[in-house]
Amino acid sequence: MALRKVKGNLERMFDKNLTDLVRGIRNNKDNEGKYIAQCMDEIKAELRQENFAVKANAVAKLTYLQMLGYDISWAGFNIVEVMSSSKFTYKRIGYLAASQCFHQDTEVVMLTTNMIRKDLNGQNMYDAGTALTGLACFISADLARDLANDVMTLLSSTKPYLRKKAVLLLYKVFLKFPEALRPAFPRLKEKLEDPDPGVQSAAVNVICELARKNPKNYLSLAPVFFKLMTSSTNNWMLIKIIKLFGALTPLEPRLGKKLIEPLTNLIHSTSAMSLLYECINTVIAVLISISSGMPNHNASIQLCVQKLRILIEDSDQNLKYLGLLAMGRILGPHPKAVQPHKDLVLACLDDKDESIRIRALDLLYGMVSKKTVMEIVRRLMTHMDRAEGTFYRDELLQKIIQICSQNNYQYITNFEWYISVLVELCRMESSQHGALIAAQLMDVAIRVGAVREFTVGQMALLLENAHLLLGPAAANSSIAEVLFAAAWICGEFAHLLPNARNTLEAIVRGRLWSVAGHIQAVIVHNLVKLFIRIVVTAEEEDDADMINEVTALLEERLATWSSSADLEVQERAVFALQLVCLVRDKRAAGLKLGPELALLTAGELNPVAPKAQKKVPVPDGLDLDAWMNAPPSESEGSGDEDLLSGGDLFFRSEEPPSPSVGRKNRKAQHISEEDIMQRRAARLQEQANNPYYMKTTSNRSSTRSSPKTSLANLNVDEIPMQAIELDVPLTIPGMTSLSKYEMVDGDGDNKKLRHKKSKKRSKRKNLALSSSEEEEAPAPLVINTDAEMPEGAIVSDDDDRDNRPLDDPHRALDIDLDSPLSPTEVLPVLHHREAPAAPKLKRSSKPASSTVDAAKSKTKKDKSRKSKKKEKNGDLLGSEQKEMALDIGASVTDSKPKPYANGVDGKKTHDDIEFWLSTSDPVEQPPEAEPENAPAAADATQKSKATKKSSKEPKKEKKSKETSKKVSKKSSRKSELNLPLVDGAPSSDLRTPEGVDRRDYEVANGHHASNATPDRHKLLAEDSAVAVSWRARPAADGLKQIRLSLSFSVSSQLSDSMTDIRLVRLHLPDTSSLALTRVNATSSDIDLERALLSPGAPVKKALTVEVQDATVPHKLRGALYYSLNGGSERVLPLKFEVSVLCCLSGAGASREAFSELVSSGALTARSAFTTSCPDISFEQLLRVLCGDGSFGVVERVQNTASLYAASLSGHHVCLLTKLKDSGGVCVDGKASDGTLLANALDVLRAALTAAP
Amino acid sequence: MQFMLLFSRQGKLRLQKWYVAHPDKAKKKITRELITTILARKPKMSSFLEWRDLKIVYKRYASLYFCCAIDQEDNELLTLEVIHRYVELLDKYFGSVCELDIIFNFEKAYFMLDELVVGGEVCETSKKNVLKAIAAQDLLQEHIP
């Protein structure tokens, strides 16, 4: 043995250690791969040895290689081996390697559970520390579940070093094993008051992280954190606390009001930039959450803006960047406060750092006004000229367009200027946003009629100079898209063209063959429109030469297009060519086609809302899912699916963005005048009857007078459309002349001149405006923002309920932390895997009872600290509630309750926070103001409002009258506690959604659940003599009780009907969560008085059971003792499965109350399932779901129904159930408590699956 | 904090610590991407960049870049503080730290980081305490043959 050791050590001397490896790699730069392959072989050999030192060395080297990017996953087992070494040196290396290369899915992680547990509980503090840090990196769901309890134990370690790390690790545990959160949370909360600042800070960190993801659960901790914030000087912790408040304030505006003062103080006093920045961010969040009514509101904003200005002016780029970022956040809600700092932001545009420039651009977007838009855009354009790098240039271009087009051109007073800007933008080098410019050009041309002529002129010029756009640089840019818009605008509004023929020639002669197919297609199509226009005018002027020339030109050029490779171009070109030939032939025959041709392009255009097409309802009788033709064979299926699915059913997504353009009354066929009139009349009639058809109501005289206008006008009132109507013509005579903005021909001098002019103009304008009120500025342009939508359709944004990704682990942490713990909710404790069958309750009862015992003894010993500790008892000790209730009553009177103590039933916690918040500024919030504030507050307020109705008013009055707040607090608390527990007076727990008396609903609502469902007892147990059936319903009097009705009858298996059966007693011991109300409180037996059981006459017994937590299912075991023919007692074991449905009552929900509840936002938990029940009718389905009256039907429409239930604990559960034709059942639930909902749905699903 | 990377001006990774699990492939890709992005930035630029849905905070000390990825809501300046604290610690421990110290004692650099940050959250803000813990552990290590 000794020899072997010596040998091992000797061998080791020749091994490479880590340093050698690193050195070796550095020396073998040229053939690193080969060297490392060699090292890997050595390492593999070393790992095979038994000497731990050698193994550890090998693992250390592997860790290094892993960093260099080599795969070491094969060594997982060796790493575990090294981790398990008893020597700290090696253990440390093992854990390091594990934390670097293990992750939750690594298989060997499963082997580590017991080893890590040993380390965590080990004597050496650093062993445990190493294990904790390592675990933080590779914890898996299994490890989290198995080790949660050990980590919890470390929370009470005597060493702050371990407590601190354990607290931080808890966060990871929660993420992987959300069930641990509720049981662990009270302990975590205690750590907020840990004597060691490091532990305290760690606890703040963890709670802050948790709260940021699910803030509403942590609102009740606000007072604790507030105290910490005002007392602590640790900046690290302060930042976290302030961040936490930033997450909480949106939920509770009153909290924000309370925060403003300390935060402003901090902003004034602190020298730490990180703290300052965090404070400003939270103040901004507060200001956003408080809509109005803050007296020193403006002062806080000003302070923030000032401080941010200092940051932005700082030479440190980081501060500048963050300053701009935060400034952007203020800009949203308070643009006025930021606007004065425009100079600063504009200065940032010159910064060297691109990210800073882009931040500044973001800010500018919100800073423009009618007065400043021209100047800002001008500056941006000069920047664009100078900008290096296409990315930034594109960013600038996009921002310019965003700035100008925001809110439907809200800030644009002069559209000619804007068109000029767009044209100018086309000429910027290598723009990726050609399509964007094109869309803007078309949008403005269509929607702003007054500027149309100008636009058309500009576009014509653009087409004539198309070669400038299509230079060599255009190859990798999308600027050619502009030609799409230009051609379309010129064609569509050809009547506005100064010289249609010139434009046509320019297009035809231009080198436009190189542009993309879809652009060419549009060009060809618009050539037709131009051609028609030319023919029509020429005929009016009798200019036959003109027609002939144009015809000849087109014939020649269209031929080229008609051989295009692009199918669309080709088709359109051929069509156009035929039309041109037709015109030529007819004209040759001496016919005049002008009026008929004009009809081809008649009609007005209106903007259509981007979503309009999708919102067109499917007409009755049209089944979009049905095949129109026989379905294609399987092999073609895949391609068609793409077409059918998704929202692009009606429009092509590659087309330029909104607004798409709807056209009507356009005929592509060449038919006789009479025919046209006839068909048009018929179609208009049809359209008039079709509410979804887009119609023209343009009451301004259209340049294209067409016969159908009179017809359309008949129905003008019913037509749901808006045209662009401008109260004031955009062209201000004498003020804007084309020459001022005409900037197409790219000659430099002209451009500069133009810039100067526009500058002067804007200056003049500014001067004029500053002397008068802004309101007196030229009457605002009305740009009708409404686009056409189908009747009844609303432009809505789709749901933004929860934007966390589905796999976000934080979703699972959306757990109600205020409701008391049920005894079943404990962390899993050490158990051997060999005995998985051990009943769950038994397993978990061990730590619960120990904690309980500890807590109990403390309660007795330590009277002064009772109020806090005792509540914990309340959480854990269901069966001793009676005794406890008295305790509370007593203790409240002699001990001052801490404001942040945890509530007995969640309600109290809310009261605490309510109280804490309401005491913040009694002057500001007189009692009368309360009802107004209350609706704004969270669900909690609403909930407790009804409860406190009686107690609140006197409380408030007292508060305002008496100076001693404590007295009123004490008394109110006392009365509240007494209500449900001692007095036995009707508690508020079973409130109907609005706190109105339930009976009102029952009368009003015909759908009372119990009418619908029969009173059924379920068979519970049966032996050869006796059968027991049972039923559990919430007790009627609204306590936290359920009524168990038992029915004992003669078993059907009993052969001799003359048997004398006597029921002796029922043995039903209380469990920790279920407590029976008994006559004889000391015994767990219930005397059945030897009742005689005879066939057909069942014996009934009703029991009242107190339920501690109505959101989880419970089990109750017992036994029935009876005797046969006077013989010895026989036992029939009973096992009650008290599901959550037993605690639900569907009685009492009206449709109004239901919809209000659903829309109130109080129902935060959501869950759903679908299952298939082939042959079930909807009636059967409802019967199953409503079960024993646990749900009531609120509303039913065909095969859809809304169900409602109130739980004993005051929670609401709403279900929407649908029976699909295919037999699938879909149940969608919302509730005010997630656990309850999940459990309820589980039961329902099981019931549905079991249903016939 | 989601992860921390240390790399040299030549783009060589010197240390990596991941607080959120990623497959090895993804880690390599992220590392490569970030190293190129950050090395391409000019010295006068701010230390922050937005990357995917994270914020990257980096700082250069001599030839080494320290780079952290944080959530959107996290405080950039605080992260810079953490980085600085870490550098200070390394400096104290190694005595004017240089890149080679970290290359040859990379496990020590990890141990130090583990004392400072656990699971992505700052664990100990006191330099003294961290150094004390490290020293105690070193002592423990040396006493065992």
CB contact (8 A) between residue A317 and residue B44 = yes
What residues of A are in contact with residue B144 (Cβ under 8 Å)?
87-89
| Residues 880 through 939 of chain A touching chain B, CB cutoff 8 Å | none
Higher pLDDT, A566 or A610: A566
Q: What is the mean pLDDT of chain A?
A: 71
Q: CA of A1176: how far to CAs of A423, A538, A1199, A1214, A1252, in Å?
A: 66, 75, 11, 22, 7
Interface test with A, best of B53, B118, B127, B137 (most A CBs within 10 A): B118
pTM, rounded to two decimals: 0.57
Cβ within 8 Å, pair B13-A206: no
Residues of A in contact with B114 (CB under 8 A): 99, 130, 133
pLDDT for res A2: 54
Which of A95-104, A621-630, A766-775, A846-855 is predicted with the least confidence, judged by mean pLDDT? A766-775
Cα(A886)–Cα(A888) distance, integer angstroms? 5
Written as six digits, the tokens of A446 are 């269509």
In tens, the pLDDT along A773-832 reads 333 334 344 454 555 565 555 555 444 445 556 666 666 777 777 666 666 666 666 555
Verify whether the Cβ–Cβ distance B76 to A205 is below 8 Å: no
Range from A61-75, A458-472, A979-993, A1206-1220 that averages highest in pLDDT: A61-75
Confidence band of A897 (pLDDT split at 50, 70, 90): very low
| Chain A closest-CA separation from residue B110 CA (Å) | 8
- What proportion of chain B, given as a percentage, has pLDDT over 90? 26
Encoded tokens for A836:
């998985």
d(CA A52, CA A630): 73
Say which range, A10-24, A934-948, A1078-1092, has the weakest mean pLDDT.
Answer: A934-948
**Whole-number pLDDT of residue A794:** 56
- Is the peptide bond preceding residue A659 cis, with omega within 30 degrees of 0? yes
- Which ranges of A197-234 would DSSP assign to H, the alpha helix? 197-213, 222-231
pLDDT per position as a tens digit, A753-777? 334 334 333 333 333 333 333 333 3
pLDDT tens digits, one per residue of A665-698: 444 444 566 666 777 777 767 666 665 555 444 4
- Testing the interface with A: which of B6, B78, B108, B134 to mutate, by most A Cβ within 10 A? B78
What is the nearest CA distance from B65 to chain A, expressed in angstroms? Answer: 16
Q: Please determine, for residue A307, whether its predicted confidence score (pLDDT) is greater than 60.
A: yes
Query: Which tens digits make up the pLDDT trace of A1154-1204?
Result: 777 777 777 778 888 888 777 778 888 778 777 767 788 888 877 888 888
pLDDT at A978: 37
Q: Is A114 on the interface with B (CB under 8 A)?
A: no
Q: Residues 750-779, chain A: which have Cβ within 8 Å of B?
A: none
Better-predicted residue by pLDDT, A321 or A878:
A321
Task: Among A103, A278, A320, select the one facing B75 at the smallest CB separation.
Answer: A278
What whole-number percentage of chain A has pLDDT above 70?
66
The pLDDT assigned to A476 comes to: 65
B141/A89 Cβ within 8 A: yes
What span, in angstroms and rounded, lies between the C-alpha atoms of A247 and A867? 30
pLDDT exceeds cutoff 90 at B58: yes
Q: Distance (Å, rounded) from C-alpha A18 to C-alpha A35? A: 14
| pLDDT of residue B68 exceeding 90 | yes
CA distance B82 to chain A (A): 10
Beta-carbon contacts of A1077 under 8 Å, excluding residues fewer than 6 positions away, are A1041, A1103, A1104, A1105, A1106
How close are the terminal C-alpha atoms of chain B, in Å?
37
Token digits of residue A499 = 């010289």
The model's confidence at residue B6, banded by pLDDT at 50, 70 and 90, is: very high
pLDDT over 70 at A441, yes or no: yes
- The minimum CA-CA distance between B106 and chain A, rounded to whole Å, is 8
Query: Do B121 and A165 count as a contact with CB atoms less than 8 A apart?
Result: no
Worst-scoring range by mean pLDDT, A162-171, A310-319, A918-927?
Answer: A918-927
Residue A824 three-state SS: coil
pLDDT tens for A500-538 read 888 888 888 776 777 888 888 888 888 888 888 888 888
Closest chain B residue to A206 measured between Cα atoms? Answer: B121
Using one digit for the tens of pLDDT, what is the confidence trace for A690-733?
Answer: 655 554 444 444 334 444 444 444 444 444 444 444 443 333 33
Q: How far is the CA of A728 from the CAs of A445, A768, B60, B93, in angstroms? A: 17, 20, 59, 76
Measured distance CA(A411)–CA(A452) in Å, rounded: 19
Q: Do A352 and B45 touch (CB under 8 A)?
A: yes
Interface contact flag, A92 B81, Cβ < 8 Å: no
The reply to whether residue B140 touches residue A124, judged by beta carbons under 8 angstroms, is yes
Q: Residue A893 half-sphere exposure, CB side, CA atoms within 13 Å? A: 7
Take residue A833 and report the two structure tokens written for it: 């895997």
Whether residue A458 is predicted with pLDDT greater than 60 in this model: the reply is yes
pLDDT at B28 over 80: yes
Distance CA A683, CA B105 (A): 85
Q: From the list A67, A68, A209, which residue is nearest B121 (CB)?
A: A209
Contact B102, B15 (CB under 8 A): yes
Tell me the residue type at B43: P
Q: Which range is most confident: A130-144, A250-264, A860-874, A941-955?
A: A130-144
- CB contacts of B42 in chain A (<8 Å) are 352-353
Which pLDDT value is given to residue B35? 92
- CB spacing of B144 vs A96 below 8 angstroms: no
Q: What chain A residue is nearest to B79 in terms of C-alpha separation?
A: A274
Give the mean pLDDT of A456-475: 76
Average pLDDT over residues A1212-1228: 81
Q: What is the 3-state secondary structure (H, E, C) of A1068-1116?
A: CCCCCCEEECCCCCCCCEEEEEEEEEECCECEEEEEEEEECCCCCCEEE
pLDDT band at A1221 (very low <50, low <70, confident <90, very high): confident
Report the pLDDT averaged over residues A628-637: 64
Average pLDDT over residues A1058-1081: 76
What value does the mean pLDDT take over residues A463-491? Answer: 78
Instruction: Tell if the CB–CB gap between B119 and A22 is shorter than 8 Å.
Output: no
- Is A69 in Cβ contact with B75 (below 8 Å)? no
Say if residue B82's pLDDT is above 80.
Answer: yes
- Nearest C-alpha in A relative to B115: A133
> What does the alpha-carbon distance between residue A132 and residue A170 come to, in Å, rounded to a whole number?
10
A1154 touches chain B (CB under 8 A): no
Interchain CB contacts (distance < 8 Å): A and B: 146
* Cα A62 to Cα A148: distance, rounded to the nearest angstrom: 30
Residue of B nearest to A18 (CA): B104
Q: Regarding predicted confidence, which is higher, A808 or B59?
A: B59
Pairwise CA distance, residues A604 & B5, whole Å: 62
Q: Would you state the pLDDT for residue B83?
A: 93
pLDDT the model gives residue B12: 87
CA angle A1111/A871/A969 to nearest 5° reads 110
Q: What pLDDT was estimated at residue A1001?
A: 38
Q: How far is B138 from chain A (nearest CA, A)?
A: 9
Among partner residues B23, B76, B126, which is closest to A322 by beta-carbon distance? B76
Distance CA A441, CA A454 (A): 11
Measured between alpha carbons, how far is A640 from A638 in angstroms, rounded to an integer?
5
Distance CA B46, CA A399 (A): 22
List alpha helices for A111-196, DSSP H. 113-120, 125-138, 141-155, 160-176, 181-190
Residue with token string 């976290």: A240
| Cβ–Cβ contact A411 with B under 8 A | no
Between positions 39 and 78 of A, the ones with CB within 8 A of B are 60, 63-64, 67-69, 71, 73
Query: What value does the mean pLDDT take over residues A437-463?
Result: 86
In chain A, what percentage of residues exceed pLDDT 90? Answer: 1
Q: Stretch A1202-1207: mean pLDDT, rounded?
A: 82
Instruction: State how far the Cα of A214 lies from the Cα of A216, in Å rounded to an integer.
Output: 6
Distance of residue A1022 Cα from the nearest chain B Cα, in angstroms: 54
Determine contact, residues A1230/A1163, Cβ cutoff 8 Å.
Answer: yes
CB distance B87 to A333 below 8 Å:
no
